[in-house]
Chains A and B, each alone.
Chain A
């Protein structure tokens, strides 16, 4: 007769959450840091994982977990930026723009970042997801809530527009 202890029962929600948290926190922190700066990234990441905990039953299984978390992070960051903009207006004092919160490495490629800022929000996000989060189109699709095909097309067009921003003559 084998006596089975509590540890052999299905993983508790806490254990599942802790595993998910340990695996994906760095990536979500990085996502937030790239958009709102390191100072606020911790708050944003905490909020993302609070959502994940409260909706633990609906967090998709691997490998879709991280794209789903990116999708939540996108909304959280958007909310934080809205709040930050409100504060700026109200207090009418200079604040650090999100993209300046982290000193970029080196000085080369400033044109690329300037060009990135001139693109639309949707283009910017799809390019960042591909370049910085290193997501595949299918994962971008999960993060943005669109089909993989649409994500691939969006990425392609965004890359074209980025190139166009840098080479005005070649613009279609």
Chain B
């Protein structure tokens, strides 16, 4: 072979350019039903169900139901309906972010847990539609994060009876009845499929019954099948509640024993009851809890009247942290014969000891989920807070924020698998280092009463002892920055470890503060976002010069700040520096005091704050400053004489150039479809002129909106 094999390779392109499909623009529309970084919180609030689509990783929904035109429009979700109960459709509390859906194993109903912590979307979408979408997607379709091995193995044995292609068209929860509207694929659903939907929806808090509609037509359930209603109900026309079915109607479809709580892959805490549902004449059940190595952990008898509670010492014997185990329930008849069994993987955890105790850290609550890691400035050794942004969807995090944060810290600066770091951040992180030795792994993480216990592998104490203190500083700074963590107990291979000359025991921020040179900029973190107006906080005391430099070298803002004796130097950055988000360099120079001589530069993402409050009367977009080049013909000064304006309207004057001569240059424009200049008046009210087109005929309203929100159309007189 004499010629270059690279050319051969080139000729063997498995997907040559001419074979590629055109861009499916419908997909673009579905993607943009989410929201880009710059418009945080706009789309998310108005199109919660569309967020499900994005939140499911795109993967979940697209892989199962590609081509689906709609998911659940915001108008069909439950929270917008006045009579809706407030409990069921609420997004799950962050300390219990799990929903349960019902699939089939060997033809028998089985509840399966879906952990929502891995959905990197906050706020979480409406729980009702989200639960239904997860049910319709089928078992194993949860690819927002890899399922833990025992759960993935158990899910491989699950099936669903719900006809493929079934779409959720609507879900309303009124009182204790959920009214679900499904596409025509579901019309011929088997009793098992109906039972899956019924049990799933009645697992939502407050929901006891379900009505089924097919493509908007209410169905009657007879013999566990759907049929068109065959009688008109004169007593309650249009009242769907009479068609509702509940779990009792489907009792025949219960297996001899169903483990209702915990669900497959769900969590069972010490002290909690295992809840069982019995069917088929079962009288009681024997519960067996087995560790994965085959060790018997617990054995108990449960009856319909007396559930079994998991003893605290069972979990304590596992070392107090969580662990996977297998829960087996054997149903017995009155004569003691085994009627059937159910076996699921469950996650065991210590119980809650009062309100303050938590074993998992909620994912960040705001819509820009970020954790902050502390690395070291390679030049000075000072601790530098660094932001890690979770808004990237394809990240596959551990579901719990605590261990995830430690893992990210251990992987060092520059390592971020979710998306390429933006170039300014990548360049800045290249100037950072970590004192934590390579190869250190996280053995366990737990959080009780504000004390995080982190068990690390022996590598943590290896290497140069001179950097040992800095390791502790990085770890404690990072973890105490998480909400709910006040102190950190560091274990190495199970034994307490401490900084040099330190006492073993929980460490607070203050305990490690002196172990490394002081942080120059404490907030925002390197690579973090500063929304304007915002505050920059120095880490050290003394006098500090701060400068924000645009990417073309322009100085956007600078200030000299002085820290007090008990706090840090801080400066407020004004709100009008930028009109769109971009990277800028934050430069800090220590002038005198504790920070003297320090020089530091890092990238931050600067973005404008939320737009000024707009009235919702029109809903026609954000207000933009009125461009000066459009004020030709307008009065040079702002007059804002409402009486003169009304007189001009009364004379039939409509053209904006003409009205401008009376009122002056508008302050704002807005509108989509319409063109709407707006004037702020001295009394706090605002005048909107709605133009449908240019010229005198175009003015369709002149709305005066008072500070209290009342609207008066001056055109109507």
Q: Are B394 and A1 in contact (CB under 8 A)?
A: no
Cross-interface CB contact of B31 among A4, A50, A159, cutoff 8 Å: A50
Do A55 and B6 contact each other (CB < 8 Å), given the known contacts A4-B630, A50-B54, A145-B420?
A: no
| Minimal Cβ-Cβ distance residue in A for B39 | A13
Say yes or no: is B509 at the interface (Cβ < 8 Å to chain A).
Answer: no
Cross-interface CB contact of A53 among B32, B57, B674, B694, cutoff 8 Å: B32
Please give, as numbers and ranges, the residues of chain A lying within 8 Å of B32 by CB-CB distance.
Answer: 13-14, 17-18, 53
Q: Are B392 and A54 in contact (CB under 8 A)?
A: yes
Cross-interface CB contact of A47 among B14, B394, B417, B675, cutoff 8 Å: B394
Q: Are B36 and A83 in contact (CB under 8 A)?
A: no
Cross-interface CB contact of B8 among A17, A87, A109, cutoff 8 Å: A109
Q: Which residues of A in the span 24-58 have a Cβ within 8 Å of any Cβ on B?
A: 24-27, 29-30, 33-34, 38, 41-43, 46-47, 49-51, 53-58
Say yes or no: is B691 at the interface (Cβ < 8 Å to chain A).
Answer: yes
Q: Are A6 and B675 in contact (CB under 8 A)?
A: yes
Please give, as numbers and ranges, the residues of chain B lying within 8 Å of A120 by CB-CB distance.
Answer: none
Please give, as numbers and ranges, the residues of chain A lying within 8 Å of B35 by CB-CB distance.
Answer: 54
Query: How distant is the Cα of A60 from the Cα of B426 in the complex, in angstroms?
Result: 14
Binding site of A, secondary structure by majority: helix, strand, loop or mixed? helix
Minimum CB–CB distance for A41 against chain B, Å: 8
Binding site of B, secondary structure by majority: helix, strand, loop or mixed? loop
Cross-interface CB contact of A57 among B36, B143, B673, cutoff 8 Å: B36
Say yes or no: is B672 at the interface (Cβ < 8 Å to chain A).
Answer: yes
Q: Are A50 and B25 in contact (CB under 8 A)?
A: no
Please give, as numbers and ranges, the residues of chain B lying within 8 Å of A102 by CB-CB distance.
Answer: 14-15
Say yes or no: is A62 at the interface (Cβ < 8 Å to chain B).
Answer: no
Q: Are B27 and A22 in contact (CB under 8 A)?
A: no
Please give, as numbers and ranges, the residues of chain A lying within 8 Å of B39 by CB-CB distance.
Answer: 13
Cross-interface CB contact of A71 among B419, B655, B660, B671, cutoff 8 Å: B419
Q: Are A83 and B394 in contact (CB under 8 A)?
A: no
Query: How distant is the Cα of A9 from the Cα of B668 in the complex, in angstroms?
Result: 13
Do A34 and B15 contact each other (CB < 8 Å), given the known contacts A6-B675, A75-B417, A109-B9?
A: yes
Q: Which residues of A in the span 115-154 have a Cβ within 8 Å of any Cβ on B?
A: 115-116, 127, 130-132, 145
Please give, as numbers and ranges, the residues of chain B lying within 8 Å of A90 by CB-CB distance.
Answer: 149, 152-153, 156
Q: Are A43 and B37 in contact (CB under 8 A)?
A: no
Query: Interface size bucket, A side?
Result: 35 or more
Please give, as numbers and ranges, the residues of chain B lying within 8 Å of A9 by CB-CB distance.
Answer: 624
Q: Are A1 and B673 in contact (CB under 8 A)?
A: no
Please give, as numbers and ranges, the residues of chain A lying within 8 Å of B695 by CB-CB distance.
Answer: 3
Do A131 and B6 contact each other (CB < 8 Å), given the known contacts A38-B15, A54-B393?
A: yes
Please give, as numbers and ranges, the residues of chain B lying within 8 Å of A99 by CB-CB distance.
Answer: 14
Cross-interface CB contact of B36 among A25, A56, A71, cutoff 8 Å: A56
Minimum CB–CB distance for B175 against chain A, Å: 37
Q: Are B393 and A68 in contact (CB under 8 A)?
A: no
Query: How distant is the Cα of A102 from the Cα of B34 in the complex, in angstroms?
Result: 32
Q: Are B420 and A72 in contact (CB under 8 A)?
A: yes
Q: Are B21 and A26 in contact (CB under 8 A)?
A: yes
Minimum CB–CB distance for B670 against chain A, Å: 9
Please give, as numbers and ranges, the residues of chain B lying within 8 Å of A42 by CB-CB distance.
Answer: 62, 66
Do A163 and B4 contact each other (CB < 8 Å), given the known contacts A43-B62, A75-B419?
A: yes
Say yes or no: is A171 at the interface (Cβ < 8 Å to chain B).
Answer: no
Do A166 and B1 contact each other (CB < 8 Å), given the known contacts A21-B25, A82-B146, A131-B6?
A: yes
Please give, as numbers and ranges, the residues of chain A lying within 8 Å of B660 by CB-CB distance.
Answer: 1
Chain B residues with a Cβ closer than 8 Å to the other chain, count: 82
Q: Are B673 and A6 in contact (CB under 8 A)?
A: yes
Please give, as numbers and ranges, the residues of chain B lying within 8 Å of A47 by CB-CB distance.
Answer: 57-59, 393-394
Query: How distant is the Cα of A114 from the Cα of B488 in the complex, in angstroms?
Result: 51
Query: How distant is the Cα of A167 from the Cα of B1 in the complex, in angstroms?
Result: 8
Please give, as numbers and ranges, the residues of chain B lying within 8 Å of A53 by CB-CB distance.
Answer: 31-32, 34, 36
Please give, as numbers and ranges, the residues of chain A lying within 8 Å of B420 by CB-CB distance.
Answer: 68, 71-72, 75, 145
Q: Are B9 and A116 in contact (CB under 8 A)?
A: yes
Q: Which residues of B in the span 628-652 have a Cβ within 8 Å of any Cβ on A?
A: 630, 632-633
Q: Are A132 and B13 in contact (CB under 8 A)?
A: yes
Q: Are A2 and B630 in contact (CB under 8 A)?
A: yes
Q: Are B54 and A115 in contact (CB under 8 A)?
A: no
Say yes or no: is A162 at the interface (Cβ < 8 Å to chain B).
Answer: yes
What 1/0 mask marks residues of chain B from 422 to 448 whose CB sits below 8 Å from any chain A CB?
Answer: 110010000000000000000000000
Q: Which residues of A in the span 50-97 have a Cβ within 8 Å of any Cβ on B?
A: 50-51, 53-58, 60, 68, 71-72, 75-76, 79, 82-83, 86-87, 90-91
Do A6 and B672 contact each other (CB < 8 Å), given the known contacts A51-B393, A82-B146, A127-B6?
A: yes
Minimum CB–CB distance for A20 against chain B, Å: 9
Say yes or no: is B653 at the interface (Cβ < 8 Å to chain A).
Answer: no
Q: Which residues of B in the span 646-686 have a Cβ within 8 Å of any Cβ on A?
A: 655-657, 660, 669, 671-675
Q: Are B36 and A17 in contact (CB under 8 A)?
A: yes
Query: How distant is the Cα of A102 from the Cα of B36 in the complex, in angstroms?
Result: 34
Please give, as numbers and ranges, the residues of chain B lying within 8 Å of A159 by CB-CB distance.
Answer: 4, 6
Query: How distant is the Cα of A127 from the Cα of B12 in the complex, in angstroms?
Result: 12
Minimum CB–CB distance for B675 against chain A, Å: 6
Q: Are A29 and B4 in contact (CB under 8 A)?
A: no
Say yes or no: is B230 at the interface (Cβ < 8 Å to chain A).
Answer: no
Q: Which residues of B in the span 31-48 have a Cβ within 8 Å of any Cβ on A?
A: 31-32, 34-39
Q: Are A145 and B421 in contact (CB under 8 A)?
A: yes
Query: How distant is the Cα of A68 from the Cα of B420 in the complex, in angstroms?
Result: 8
What 1/0 mask marks residues of chain B from 408 to 421 whose CB sits below 8 Å from any chain A CB?
Answer: 00000000011111
**Chain B interface (Cβ < 8 Å from any Cβ of A):** 1, 4-6, 8-15, 17, 19-25, 27-28, 31-32, 34-39, 54, 57-59, 62-63, 66, 143, 146, 149, 152-153, 156, 391-394, 396, 417-423, 426, 580-582, 605, 607, 621, 624, 627, 630, 632-633, 655-657, 660, 669, 671-675, 691, 693-695, 698
* Complex A-B, nearest 7 residue pairs according to Cβ-Cβ distance, in ascending order: A25-B23, A3-B694, A1-B657, A56-B36, A26-B20, A33-B15, A102-B14
28 pairs, A vs B, C-beta closer than 8 Å: A1-B660, A3-B691, A3-B693, A9-B624, A18-B32, A25-B22, A27-B20, A29-B15, A47-B393, A49-B31, A50-B58, A50-B394, A51-B394, A51-B419, A54-B54, A54-B392, A55-B37, A56-B36, A72-B394, A75-B419, A75-B420, A79-B394, A83-B146, A90-B153, A104-B14, A109-B12, A127-B6, A131-B9
